[in-house]
Amino acid sequence: MIDSYIALGSNLDDPLAQVRQALDELAHLPGSRLRAASALYRSAPMGPADQPDYINAVAVLETGLSPHALLDALQAIEQTHGRVREGERWGPRPLDLDVLLYGEETISDQRLTIPHPGMTERAFVLYPLQEIVAPDFTIPGHGSLQALLPRVAADRPERLHDA
């Protein structure tokens, strides 16, 4: 079993419900167990500004799935939520699920890059991540989470307390 960290995001079709439902679906993936999930956060869109804010979270999933099987399972969940992978990059979407980390592995192939590219520059990933990891957590090839957080502090997402 490997601890895999998953980023969740939505800004269409009731984003709060989309992320909550996706967390439930992660908990039911075969050979996997949802160990923890962050609070939900609201963040400005990373792409085009003329779209709604995102709801984001990060979860840790203990899984026996291979990295590519996990990616396939996440993409299947996205599809059940109406995700279409065509159109504008970083545009609006009902659900986005990304494998951030898969244990200590580093992977780079045509389908999957781990650690997820850009995760260390995204406040909407790093702030939720810090809620569910040990204080000395490190991202392979990038250093400690605590050292990365100040770099994205200006974009700190809004933590939703009653979501």
Instruction: Provide the annotated active-site residues.
Output: 83, 93, 96, 98
Centroid of chain to Cα 82: 18
Instruction: Please give the Cα distance from 143 to 138 (Å, whole number).
Output: 5
Q: How far apart are CA 106 and CA 72, in angstroms?
A: 18
Angle value at C-alpha 161, between 155 and 152, nearest 5 degrees: 15
What would the two tokens of residue 129 be? 């991540």
